[in-house]
Every structure is written in structure tokens, then in C-alpha cells.
Amino acid sequence: MSKNKKKFFQILLVFAFLGFLGILINNLIINLARTGLGFNFNWLTKPASFSLAEHPLPYSPSDSYAWALFIGWMNSLKVIISSLVLATCIGTLIGFLRVGKNSFFSIITAGYITVIRQTPLLIQLMCWYFVGFLNMRNNSFLSISNIFNISNKGIELFGLNLSPEFSALLFGLSIFSSAFIAEVIRGGIQSVPLGQWEAFRSLGISEKQGFFKIIIPQALPAFIPGLTSQYLNLAKNSTLAIAIGYSDIYAINDTIINQTGRAVECFIILLCSFLILNLLITKVMGIIDKSIMKSGI
């Protein structure tokens, strides 16, 4: 194809895209006009007049929609960050055991990864919530003096009380993501050439020392891309909170849409918030990646 022809088709493509976008926006404007709402964010300052079961900061129904959304964000971030930490810990441990020499642990962890990866997250969450937490005995299902207590009231840890909804979501997200993270860890470790294992063994260095001083530092760069995509997935998956009644940002947006009919504004807020959060996660992982690259290899 000649250069001019190429340019012509590209310009045509741009116009087709702009036309499509125009139709969408036109539709939106017509529909907004029909409902008589118009496009604005003034409603954010009005009182929300619904109550929230869980709020890390003070909240009452007379507070504004904006404040309710902010509380929703706090709830989302709370569960995303704690699941991210827990999933990484469990996933790393499972990944290590999966590649380890002990065949018992290797088989057990392979089974764990298979079962968790092959079933839908929504079902796992429901299972943790209804079968796991709500079915537990009243006061203490598992209790270690006053430090740790699991019951149908959720988890109590050092006097910190976690609701059954939060606990189920934390467990569900962490365990689901941990299976994927374990595979990322396994892949990273196995990407280190076998010769590196032989080299440290031939020097009389123990398996444990060699693993942490020779193998892991070389596997780290291979962990980062996989971990990043798992963290992004985890953040997005947290919106399934609505299924078990945890008031995350999506659940609160859903309530607001029902009350006000402001679907367009609410979805813009939602999409932008997750876009910003995930860009932030990507950025942080990029910084970690760079610092690993700098420290050798």
C-alpha cells in the first residue's frame, strides 16, 4: 500500500471512531434530558440518609453523599491493602513449598492451587461468608486466650474487631489471589537456571542459605510483572464485596444510584477511582522493579 493510501485509511479510522463516540454522547445527553436530571455533581453535598454497618471514620445518615463515598473508599482500601499483604504472605509460602524438596508439601500445595484456581471467586466468597463465618458457633469457634478469636461475629485480634463480612472478604480475596501468586512465585524460581543450584551446592552452601542468597535474588525480577497483574486483579475483584454485604465503594455507589438515579456520575466516579488506584499500584510496582534491577544483575 502506498504511503498516501495508508494515511487516508488512518484518517478514515479516526473519523469513524469520533463518529461512534459522538453517537454515544448524544444518546447520553438525550437520556439525561428525558429523566430531567441533567449532568452535575451538586447532589454530592446532600445528606445520604442511609446508614452504614462499617465505617472506619465517624459517619451518620445525615452526612453527605460525598462523605459516604469517602467512607466506601476507606472500606475498599482497608480490604484491598490487607488482602494484598495476606495474599502475598500465603502465596509466597505456598509457592516456596510447591517447589521445595518435600514431596508431601509439594502435593498438598499443588492440590490447593488447583482447587482455588479452578473455582469462581464469587462462589468462594459466598462460601467463606455463609458456610465459614455465619455458620460458626456463637462465641468462639477458635480462640487463643484473649488475643485471637474467630466466631460468627468475625475475627477478633488484639482487641481489634473485624466484622464477619470483612473477614469473609479478606479470607476469600487473600486465598483466591494467593493461589495465583503461588504460581507466579513458582514460575520465578523455576526461571533461575539449574546451574545456579548446582553451583551453590558444589560450594557446600546449604539448601536454605542457597535458596535465599542465590536463587531468590535472581528470581525477584521475574516475580514483579506477575505480582503486579495479580495485585491489579485483587483490587478489581474487591468489588465483589457487594455480594456478601460489605460496604465497599461499589456497594455504596450502588445504593446511591438506587436513591438518586445518578448512574452516569456514579460510574464515572467508580471508574476513575479504580483507574487511579490501579495506576498507583502499577507505579509502585514499577519503582520496586527498578530498585531490584539497580541492585545487581
Partner 1 sequence: MKPILTAKNLTKSYAKGILALNKVSFTLDQGKVLVVMGPSGSGKSTLIRTINGLETFDEGELNVLGIKISADSDERKIQRIRRRVGMVFQQFNLFPHLSILENITLAPIQVQKRNKKEAEEYGMKLLCQMGIESHAKKYPGQLSGGEQQRVAIARSLALKPELLLFDEPTSALDPERINEVLDAMRRLADQGMTMIVVTHEIKFAMEVSDQVLFIDSGKILEISSPEVFFSNASHERSRKFLNQIN
Identified binder of partner 1 from the candidate list 86, 205, 232, 288, rule CB under 8 A? 205
Number of residues engaging partner 1 in binding (CB under 8 A): 20
- Closest by CA to 74, choosing from 231, 251, 227, is 251
Residue 233 binds to partner 1 (criterion: CB under 8 A): no
C-alpha cell at 85: 499483604
Query: In the bound complex, what is the minimum distance in angstroms from residue 141's beta carbon to partner 1?
Result: 41
Among the residue ranges 149-157, 171-179, 208-216, 272-280, the one whose residues contact partner 1 (CB under 8 A) = 208-216
Query: In the bound complex, what is the minimum distance in angstroms from residue 289's beta carbon to partner 1?
Result: 15
AA letter at 102: N
- Rg of the Cα atoms in the chain: 25
Identified binder of partner 1 from the candidate list 213, 236, 283, 290, rule CB under 8 A? 213
The whole-angstrom separation of Cα 230 and Cα 86 is 13
Query: Is the Cα dihedral 133, 138, 142, 143 positive or negative?
Result: positive
Residue 201 binds to partner 1 (criterion: CB under 8 A): yes
Query: In the bound complex, what is the minimum distance in angstroms from residue 207's beta carbon to partner 1?
Result: 8
Residue 6 binds to partner 1 (criterion: CB under 8 A): no
Q: What is the dihedral of CA 139, 143, 146, 151, to 10 degrees?
A: -40
Angle, helices 65-99/263-294, rounded to nearest 10 degrees: 40
Kindly tell me which of 202 and 291 has the beta carbon lying closer to partner 1: 202
Kindly tell me which of 34 and 101 has the beta carbon lying closer to partner 1: 101
Euclidean distance between the first and final Cα of the chain, in Å? 44
Residue 30 binds to partner 1 (criterion: CB under 8 A): no
Residue 198 binds to partner 1 (criterion: CB under 8 A): yes
Query: In the bound complex, what is the minimum distance in angstroms from residue 88's beta carbon to partner 1?
Result: 22
Query: In the bound complex, what is the minimum distance in angstroms from residue 183's beta carbon to partner 1?
Result: 23
Kindly tell me which of 8 and 212 has the beta carbon lying closer to partner 1: 212
Residue 154: beta bridge partners? 151
Identified binder of partner 1 from the candidate list 1, 23, 57, 297, rule CB under 8 A? 297
Among the residue ranges 63-71, 118-126, 196-204, 282-290, the one whose residues contact partner 1 (CB under 8 A) = 196-204
Identified binder of partner 1 from the candidate list 64, 218, 239, 273, rule CB under 8 A? 218
Residue 64: beta bridge partners? 47
Kindly tell me which of 117 and 201 has the beta carbon lying closer to partner 1: 201
Identified binder of partner 1 from the candidate list 187, 217, 226, 245, rule CB under 8 A? 217
Site for partner 1 in 88-127 (CB under 8 A): none
Residue 290 binds to partner 1 (criterion: CB under 8 A): no
The footprint of partner 1 (CB under 8 A) covers 193, 195-196, 198-206, 209, 213-214, 217-218, 295-297
